Amino acid sequence: MVGDLGLAEDLAQDALLAALERWPRDGVPDNPGAWLMATAKNRAIDLIRRDRTLERKREELVREAGLRIEHQRTAIDLAAEEEVGDDILALIFTCCHPLLAREARVALTLRLLGGLTAAEIARGFLAKEATVAQRLVRAKKALREAGVRFEVPRGAELAARLPSVLEVIYLIFNEGYAASGGEDWVRPALCEEALRLGRVLAELAPEEPEAQGLIALLEIQASRLAARLGPGGEPVLLLDQDRGRWDPLLIVRGRRALARAEALPRPLGPYGLQAAIAA
């Protein structure tokens, strides 16, 4: 809808802020991804109506993102909600471009899609803030110098680049579910962020079995987070967990996502198979 990485980042973060304000009070909607897209769409319409404000903001954000983005503003269709989805999906694929190192993809995704600061990302992955900040700068520079376009890949390129996106979301969740370092065995905030990204991706790529398989796996695994630690904070093995502490809503969501993946013409991939085992 907006065709601009910086503006898409701004709209996505506005939608996230709205969710943080409203969901604790009103409850999480049945379809969080659609709610975020609709909220982002409304924000976009408001911005576009205020032409001067939009232009100033667009220029500021493009400079920050550092990408040269081709766009046709005359072709904007304010009534096309799916175009907002395309912008979010394009943002996901841009952040997870395979020319970037794995650590850079993770950091850029958390910054632009999750709205986390360099300091917050550093705390989540036990890294130095300066290291993360430089990683973000280098990632944006690499995308700019390579002439990466802000768009959703199509056909064979989509199939080739989807694993990179799935890997980033999986890595973020895994670091939260089984922390690789530090005193905490789990970092729920990272799991929640991965779940949010996975749900958005599954909503925007309904015909991709691995997108459905990944969110199925994450939902099922996340349902057990509360039971993973004992009273003293020690890890509890799956067989020893109190199943009464598992989250039934997340289990239902995971099984539904798995059913969607299984209903697609293409067979389950690694994430879908893991979800089937976990279910």
Handedness of CA 39, 43, 48, 54 (dihedral sign): negative
pLDDT at 253: 93
Record the tokens describing residue 35, joined without a space. Answer: 């709610």
Handedness of CA 109, 110, 114, 117 (dihedral sign): negative
| Domain match, 222 and 162 both | yes
List the pLDDT tens digit at each of the 279 positions of the chain: 545 555 566 667 677 777 777 777 777 777 766 677 777 777 666 655 554 544 554 455 455 555 544 444 344 343 334 454 567 778 888 888 989 998 999 899 888 877 778 888 888 788 899 999 999 999 999 988 988 888 888 888 888 888 888 988 988 898 888 877 777 788 888 898 889 889 988 888 889 999 999 999 999 999 999 998 888 888 888 889 999 999 999 999 999 999 999 999 999 999 999 999 998
Backbone angles phi, psi at 118, to 5 degrees: -60, -40
| Domain match, 16 and 145 both | yes
Nearest to 165, CA basis, from 220, 219, 94, 217: 94
| Domain match, 112 and 26 both | yes
Q: Of 132, 152, 172, which residue constitutes the final position of a domain? A: 152
| β-strand partners of 229 | 235
| Domain match, 139 and 176 both | no
Number of domains within the chain: 2
pLDDT at 90: 82
pLDDT at 10: 64
Nearest to 193, CA basis, from 216, 218, 213, 212: 218
| Domain match, 70 and 42 both | yes
| Domain match, 12 and 122 both | yes
pLDDT at 54: 45
| Domain match, 256 and 272 both | yes
32, amino acid identity: P
Residue 100 and residue 140: Cα distance in Å, rounded? 9
| Domain match, 101 and 196 both | no
| Domain match, 176 and 87 both | no
The pTM for the full model equals 0.66
267, amino acid identity: P
| Domain match, 17 and 43 both | yes
Q: Of 130, 152, 174, which residue constitutes the final position of a domain? A: 152
- Give me the domain span that covers residue 244: 157-279
| Domain match, 11 and 132 both | yes
Q: Of 152, 170, 191, which residue constitutes the final position of a domain? A: 152
| Domain match, 147 and 162 both | no
Q: Which residue has the tokens 């376009």?
A: 149
